Structure 1
Amino acid sequence: MDKLKYKRVMLKLSGEALAGEGGYGIDFDVATKIAYEIKELVDLGVEVGAVVGGGNIWRGRNGKEMDRTTADYMGMLATCINALALQDSLENIGVMTRVQTAIEMKEVAEPYIRRRAMRHLEKNRVVIFAAGTGNPYFSTDTTAALRAAEIEADAILLAKKVDGVYDKDPHKYADAVKFEKLSYIEVLEKGLQVMDSTATSLCMDNDIPIIVFGLDEPNNIKKVMLGENIGTIVSKISK
C-alpha cells in the first residue's frame, strides 16, 4: 500500500466548484465526480472532513441596503444546501457521511459537536461541516481552518480552479508565476489570495499546512495525499 503523507485532512471546496460550467446552483455530475475523488481517499484509509462554500447559491449582499449580518446568515444556509448535496452524492456511491451544522437544524443534520465529529472520522465516515462557524463576519475559509484545528487535522486541502498559488491572476496575465512553497507570513505580506487573513493566521498559529491545488485535474486529491509535488504548499517555512 502506498504511504500516506497525511492521515486526517480537511478538504475545502468552493461553492462554485459544485456549480460546474453553469456557474450557479449544483451540477450533480460535478458533485458525483468530487464524491468519487473523496471516496479514493476514504478507501486509502484517510479520515476526511470537508467544508463547502456557498458562492454558487449566494454571494452576499447584492446592494448596500442589505444588512451584513443577514446576508452572512443567508450564506450559511447556502452552505447547508451544498453540504446536503455532497452528502447525497457520497452516500450514492457507498461512502458513509455525516453533515454537522454550526446552526442547529436537527431535522436535517447533526449539530456540530467536536467529539462526535472525531468519532465519525475514526469510523471512516466523511464529516461535512456546514453553516460556517455559526457567526456572521467569518468566511468558510475561517471555518475550514477552525474545524481543522479542532479535529486535529494534519493538513487543509484547498481545492481551487487554478493549479496553485500565483503572484497574479494566471487567467488574466500570461507571465503569472506559480509558487511551489510559501510561508504563512509571505502569504499575508504579499496579500496572496490563498485563504483570507483570519484563516491563514489561524493555520499559522496551529501549524496546519495548506496545500493548494487544482480540482479539475483527475486524481489530484489522491496525488496530494501520496506526497506528489503538485500545487502550492503553505507552511511555516517556504524553503
Structure 2
Amino acid sequence: MMATVMNSILLQSALEKLGVQSRVQSAFAMPEAAEPFSRQRAIRHLEKERVVIFGGISAGTGNPLFTTDTAAALRASEYDANAVLKGTNVNGVYDCHSANNNVTLDHISFREVASVGVTSMDMMAITYCEENGIPVVVFNLLEPGNISKALCGDQVGTLIDQTGRIS
C-alpha cells in the first residue's frame, strides 16, 4: 500500500512538471505528502479540472482485502471516471490462444478477457468495471511515453470495454 502512495507522489511530480495540476489523496495519514482521502475534496478538485491520484486506497475502501485494482475500479465508479488506467510491467492483455503466447491484443471485450486473454488485472476489478461501463486500458508503464499516451487517450496497450475487437 505504501508503494502505491509513493508511486502516486511520483506521478503527481511528473504531471506537475508538465503543468498539469494534480492532487494525491491517501487513506494513510501523511499530511506532508498527500491529502487525507475525502470524497468531497476529490470532487472539488475534479470540478477545478485537477487530476486526483488515489494512493493507499485499498484500506480506504473499508474493505482491506480488496486489491488495489478493485479499489481503483470502485473509486472510478464513484467519481464517474472515463476509464481505469492499469499501468503495469506487461504490454497489455495477452492472447493465450496465440501460437507463442506473446501476442497482445489492441482491443477486447470484458467478456472475452475471461476466455481469450491473460491480464495482470484481477477479475473482480474487471467485472466491476464491466458492470459500471468503465473502460480499462492495460499498458506497460515502463515504456517511455506510455503514461502520457494513456492519459491522452492514444492507443497504448489493450483497451477492454463492452464492444471488444473491431472486425
TM category, shorter? 0.7 to 0.9
Contact 1:187 1:194 in 2 (8 A): no
CA drift of 1:215 comes to: 3.0
1:221 Cα deviation after fit: 4.1
Q: CA RMSD in A?
A: 2.9
Superposed CA offset, 1:97-153 (max 9, x none):
321112344454322222311221232322220112214221111121111111111
Aligned in 2, Cα 1:222/1:95: closer, same or farther, shift over 3 Å?
closer
Confirm whether residue 109 of structure 1 aligns to residue 34 of structure 2: yes
Alignment-mate amino acid for residue 177 of structure 1? V
In the TM superposition, what is the alpha-carbon distance from 1:191 to its structure 2 partner? 6.6
Q: How many residues align?
A: 161
Deviations along 1:71-115, whole A, 9 cap, x unmatched? xxxxx2332233334434444554433211123444543222223
Name the counterpart of 1:154. 82
For 2:9 and 2:163, how far apart are their aligned partners in 1?
Answer: 37
Q: What does residue range 1-239 of structure 1 map to in structure 2 within 5 Å?
A: 76-91=1-16, 94-106=19-31, 108-134=33-59, 135-168=63-96, 174-190=100-116, 192-224=118-150, 228-239=154-165
* CA 1:110–1:198: 2 relative to 1, 3 Å: same
Q: Output the CA distance in 2 between the equivalents of 1:185 and 1:94.
A: 38
Instruction: Name segments (4+ residues, structure 1) moved above 6 Å.
Output: none
- Structure 1 distance, partners of 2:145, 2:13, is 21
Q: For 1:86 and 1:223, how far apart are their aligned partners in 2?
A: 14
What CA distance in whole angstroms lies between the structure 2 residues aligned with 1:118 and 1:205? 22
AA paired with 2:5? C
Would the aligned equivalents of 2:136 and 2:161 in 1 still touch at CA under 8 Å? yes
TM-score (norm 1): 0.56
